[in-house]
């Protein structure tokens, strides 16, 4: 039997507010244990939460950017469960009246097909602290300590409909959500710091069926690679179970990235009853149409719109425009390169090519690139003017990567100016023809490809500085 996967994601994203959701403590990552704490986030007796307005603003902006409806009446609830990283032994979250509902994003698959993934809801909640065990897990540790710095860091949870049917779609969806959250500047989305993590729900059903199968959940997946790998493994595992006539058990499984497998963690029988109740210490959140409109107006151009603009305005291909706009930083870098008067297609090629390659090699963000948009733009300008060839440009780029000098200065200092002087080139061509009679004969006897070797020789002798077009022209002329 052939099966179809049904995948839904719950994405948790930390919001980049300066202070925590219910108190004034800093949210900075990586501080010394228990230094960003106060009576409120420690859940001491008698304390009360007060909502950080920025959290509400960021959640509403996320909702608008993800095409959600904003609930004008929303409230917080207590999600009750005992765990030492949760000082009150409940998480302040939202249950039946989340701030945003009914949104969607569109993803473009590698085959070019576009698919809409619906978003059920987005709600606000507080993050928990971190346990520091003497052993590997709480079970095999003699002592465990709690670091409450993360307690109360604001989160939004974005819950999708089970609209994805392949690991690729799940990854593309998460990438898209990340890109949008970065565009609207509400989350750093640093996955390695746990800013963005996903719970994956997956079930299988016979292809074409509209009945949902039993699902399993994998929690806290924090890389795109892991999303795809964990889902791929889990789909295969479920397929095997079903093929063998077995049943899927509804359970939470963990993804072990080192072994590349998922492991059973907790079955439904042991599932929590969270005993949700309305949070009596926080007043309901009332949002007006005017406030929502003001937030909507404050949103920047979003990836889809920006991509369409780049295609239309600069004639970029859908693929190139998609890559350039996949992150706000890259799109802004592109715009800044264009502002120097650089050619758009060349700009796109350089950004997606050498620039990205160098950034990846050194694990740098584009915002930290040693070659800023202005210098790259100037360099592209030199190519367009014919001052340097594309090939020489690669050398210039490598120099720029290492030195802060302007591309003009580098070209001048290193003597990389392209030789466009016909006479100088003719001299070299004559020498090359003289020294490569065999190739000349071949060419003359009909093997037109032999000219390539000659061009190569000319370029070599000019140390790459000869304008390749001029070389071709002159050679063709001389060889008749």
Partner 1 sequence: MKLFEQPAHVLHDMLVNKEITSLELTEAVLARIDEVEGDVKAYLTITRDVAIAQAKAVDEKIAKGETISFLEGIPGAIKDNICTKGVKTTCASKILQNFVAPYDATVMTKLKAQNPVIIGKANMDEFAMGGSTENSAFQKTGNPWNTECVPGGSSGGSAAAVAAGTAVWALGSDTGGSIRQPASFCGVVGMKPTYGRVSRYGLVAYASSLDQIGPITKDVTDCAHILNIISGRDEMDSTSVNEEVPDFTKALVEDVKGLKVGIPKEYFVKGIDPDVEKTVREAIDKLKELGAEIVEISLPNTDYAISTYYLISPAEAATNLARYDGVSYGERAEDAADLVEMITKTRTQYLGEEVKRRIMIGNYALSAGYYDAYYLKALKVRRLIKEDFDKAFEQVDVIVCPTAPTPAYKIGEKISNPLEMYLQDACTVPLNLAGLPGISVPCGYSSDNMPIGLQIIGKALDEETILRVAYTYEQSQSYHNDRAQLGGN
Phi then psi dihedrals of residue 302, to 5 deg = -90, 165
Nearer to partner 1, 23 or 454 (CB): 23
Tell me whether residue 133 is exposed, middle or buried, using C-beta atoms within 10 angstroms of its C-beta: 0 to 12, 13 to 18, 19 or more.
Answer: middle
185, 332 Cβ separation under 8 angstroms: no
Rounded Cα gap, residues 349 and 361, in angstroms: 18
Task: Find the shortest distance in angstroms from Cβ 83 to partner 1.
Answer: 8
Binding site for partner 1 (CB under 8 A): 39, 42-51, 78, 80, 82, 84, 87-90, 138-139, 144, 146, 148, 273, 275-277, 280-283
Nearer to partner 1, 280 or 480 (CB): 280
Nearer to partner 1, 73 or 82 (CB): 82
Task: Find the shortest distance in angstroms from Cβ 54 to partner 1.
Answer: 15
Task: Find the shortest distance in angstroms from Cβ 139 to partner 1.
Answer: 8
Task: Find the shortest distance in angstroms from Cβ 193 to partner 1.
Answer: 24
Beta-carbon contacts of 175 under 8 Å, excluding residues fewer than 6 positions away, are 224, 326
DSSP H helical ranges for 257-372? 289-298, 303-314, 318-324, 328-339, 344-350, 356-361
Closest CA to 400 of 430, 379, 425, 383: 379
Residues 250, 256, 257, 261: what is their CA dihedral angle, to the nearest 10 degrees?
-60
Nearer to partner 1, 30 or 46 (CB): 46
Phi then psi dihedrals of residue 102, to 5 deg = 55, 60
Nearer to partner 1, 53 or 247 (CB): 53
Task: Find the shortest distance in angstroms from Cβ 16 to partner 1.
Answer: 23
Nearer to partner 1, 134 or 209 (CB): 134
Rounded Cα gap, residues 423 and 430, in angstroms: 11
Nearer to partner 1, 92 or 203 (CB): 92
Nearer to partner 1, 32 or 258 (CB): 32
Kindly state the helix (H) or strand (E) to which residue 77 belongs, with its residue range. Answer: strand 77-80
Q: How many CA atoms lie within 13 A of 421 on its CB side?
A: 7
b/e sequence 408-444, b meaning 16+ C-beta within 10 Å: bebbeeeebebbeeeeebbebbeebbeebeebbebbe
Kindly state the helix (H) or strand (E) to which residue 354 belongs, with its residue range. Answer: none
Task: Find the shortest distance in angstroms from Cβ 35 to partner 1.
Answer: 15
Nearer to partner 1, 277 or 364 (CB): 277
Task: Find the shortest distance in angstroms from Cβ 292 to partner 1.
Answer: 21
Task: Find the shortest distance in angstroms from Cβ 279 to partner 1.
Answer: 8
Task: Find the shortest distance in angstroms from Cβ 90 to partner 1.
Answer: 5
Beta strands in 81-113 (DSSP E): 90-93, 100-108
């Amino acid at each position: 039997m052939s099966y179809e996967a049904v995948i839904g994601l719950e994405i948790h994203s930390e919001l980049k507010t300066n202070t925590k959701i219910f108190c004034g403590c800093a949210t900075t990552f990586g501080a010394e244990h228990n230094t960003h704490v106060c009576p409120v986030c420690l859940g001491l007796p008698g304390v009360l939460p007060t909502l950080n307005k920025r959290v509400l603003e960021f959640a509403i902006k996320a909702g608008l950017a993800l095409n959600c409806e904003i609930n004008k009446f929303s409230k917080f609830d207590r999600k009750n469960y005992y765990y030492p990283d949760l000082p009150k032994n409940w998480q302040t979250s939202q249950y039946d009246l989340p701030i945003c509902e009914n949104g969607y994003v569109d993803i473009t698959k590698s085959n070019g097909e576009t698919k809409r993934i619906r978003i059920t809801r987005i709600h606000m909640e507080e993050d928990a602290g971190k346990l520091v065990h003497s052993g590997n897990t709480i079970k095999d540790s003699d002592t465990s300590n709690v670091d409450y710095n993360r307690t109360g860091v604001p989160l939004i949870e974005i819950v999708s409909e089970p609209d994805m049917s392949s690991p690729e779609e799940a990854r593309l969806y998460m990438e898209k959500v990340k890109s949008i959250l970065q565009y609207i500047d509400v989350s750093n989305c640093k996955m390695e710091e746990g800013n963005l993590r996903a719970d994956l729900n997956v079930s299988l059903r016979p292809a074409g069926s509209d009945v949902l199968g039993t699902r399993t959940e994998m929690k806290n997946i924090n890389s795109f690679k892991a999303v795809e790998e964990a889902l791929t493994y889990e789909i295969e595992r479920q397929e095997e179970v079903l093929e063998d006539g077995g049943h899927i058990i509804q359970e939470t499984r963990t993804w072990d990235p080192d072994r590349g497998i998922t492991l059973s963690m907790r079955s439904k029988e042991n599932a929590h009853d969270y005993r949700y109740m309305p949070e009596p210490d926080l007043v309901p959140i009332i949002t007006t149409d005017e406030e929502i409109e003001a937030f909507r107006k404050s949103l920047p151009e979003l990836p889809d719109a920006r991509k369409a603009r780049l295609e239309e305005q600069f004639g970029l291909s859908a693929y190139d425009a998609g890559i350039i706009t996949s992150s706000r930083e890259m799109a802004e870098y592109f715009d800044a390169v264009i502002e120097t008067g650089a050619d758009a297609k060349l700009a796109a090629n350089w950004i997606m090519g050498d620039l990205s390659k160098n950034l990846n090699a050194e694990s740098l963000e584009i915002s930290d690139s040693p070659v800023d948009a202005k210098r790259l733009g100037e360099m592209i300008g030199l190519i367009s003017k014919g001052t340097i060839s594309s090939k020489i440009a690669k050398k210039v780029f490598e120099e720029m990567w290492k030195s802060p000098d302007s591309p003009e200065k580098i070209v001048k200092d290193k003597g990389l100016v392209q030789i466009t002087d016909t006479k100088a080139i003719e001299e070299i061509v004559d020498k090359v023809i003289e020294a490569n009679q065999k190739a000349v004969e071949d060419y003359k006897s009909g093997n037109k490809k032999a000219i390539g070797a000659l061009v190569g020789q000319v370029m070599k002798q000019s140390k790459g500085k000869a304008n390749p077009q001029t070389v071709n022209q002159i050679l063709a002329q001389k060889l008749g």
